[in-house]
Structure 1
Amino acid sequence: MFRIFAIACLSFMAAACTVKPALDYNVDQDFSQFKDFAFVPMPEDAVATIDGQRIERELTAQLQAKGIPAVAVEEADMLVDYRVDIATELESYGGSFSVGVGRKHGAIGVSSPDRYKERKYGKLVVEFFDPATNALVWRSISQSQLRETMGPESRAEFINKQVALMLENYPPKAK
């Protein structure tokens, strides 16, 4: 019995650690009109990146699983665009807080960090456009960090998981 309880607790903790992507969409949009999709064409001088290929593969798989097939750009009801935005965060090292107590004295010491390190990471952004109006109708931004230090397998797993989370509630339910 304890084993089942422990597995259930670990499952709930793992689910709680999953960071949901940010989501925004046009509430007035009729998403049932989008029967198929195509990717926004890349500029002629652009190079298809390895992560870009992974993202396209997973987006295609997820949308086709929802019954939305890929077609040529000219025939598409919906255009799909994606990118990896670069974000940064500062990490500080060396700061401390301490408390000391002696016979007759007490002391508190605080020091500010003396070293900072800037970390860069990627945030996956997926956007859907209506080609008839050339308007953005749906956007999702991953809140998890695609790090440069990830290996090929972990990058592919990360992208697959994030795209699945991003499209989990697509199309939005009509109100």
Structure 2
Amino acid sequence: MKYIKILFTLLFLVSCTAPKAFFDYDTRTDFTQYKSYNFYPDIETGLEKLDEKRLFRLTDSLMQARGFVRTATPDFYINIETGFFEPNNDGAVGVGVGGTGRNVGGGISIGLPIGSSNHNHEIVFDLVDVRKDQLYWQAIVKGYFDEEATPEERETYFRAVLLKAFEKYPPEK
């Protein structure tokens, strides 16, 4: 049974496009000063409650594995926002009919879109210095999220997103 779960998880990861991450940060920040964290007090992720719970638990696990401590008086807050967007559908096939003859012209054109109607998922991770109340790190992760995924697939997806989001945190000097 365990092998079947692993197989389905791998199939889920292969069938979905891997998340892509984009990073930005304040280059003047001394990242060694940050040892403790907590989630932003008024956080509204935009996720369903069970997905939000998964994401918080996985974030805690990742941050603690990297040596950070979650505390009520943190060095930085983690804010997480999510959104769904429809990818650009630039591909289309045009079919046209036209003709002319003796000062008479006409035409018919039909545009047929090519591609899927998938909705993509974007998760933004903001790290905010508590003392300065300033954003110092941001990661934006984009990927495809299947809203009909099983709980195991959802957990695998969020784990992949987190690993991608924090793969370059803290940045190398």
With normalisation by structure 1, the TM-score equals 0.69
Contact 2:19–2:142 (CA under 8 A) maintained in structure 1: yes
SS at match of 1:81: strand
CA deviations 1:62-113 (Å, max 9, x no partner) are: 11111001111xx10011111212212355898378xxxxxxxxxxxx9620
Aligned equivalent of 2:76, options 75, 78, 84: 78
Deviation at residue 57 of structure 1 after TM alignment: 0.9
1:13-24 maps to which residues of 2 (within 5 A)? 18-24=18-24
Q: Aligned partners of 2:115 and 2:31: how far apart in 1?
A: 46
Q: Aligned partners of 2:143 and 2:114: how far apart in 1?
A: 25
Q: Confirm or deny that 1:169 pairs with 2:161.
A: no
SS at match of 1:21: strand
Change (3 A) 1:95 1:166: same
Q: Aligned partners of 1:50 and 1:166: how far apart in 2?
A: 20
Q: Aligned partners of 1:148 and 1:127: how far apart in 2?
A: 24
Change (3 A) 1:34 1:95: same
Contact 1:82–1:127 (CA under 8 A) maintained in structure 2: yes
Q: Aligned partners of 2:115 and 2:172: how far apart in 1?
A: 45
Deviation at residue 146 of structure 1 after TM alignment: 2.0
Structure 2: runs of 5+ lacking an equivalent:
1-13, 96-108
Percent identity, please. 22
Q: Aligned partners of 1:116 and 1:169: how far apart in 2?
A: 32
Contact 1:92–1:117 (CA under 8 A) maintained in structure 2: no
Letter in 2 for 1:89: P
Deviation at residue 52 of structure 1 after TM alignment: 1.1
Partner of 1:137: 136
Contact 1:92–1:113 (CA under 8 A) maintained in structure 2: no
Letter in 2 for 1:81: N
Change (3 A) 1:156 1:170: same
What's the Cα RMSD here? 3.2
Letter in 2 for 1:21: A
Structure 1: runs of 5+ lacking an equivalent:
1-13, 98-109
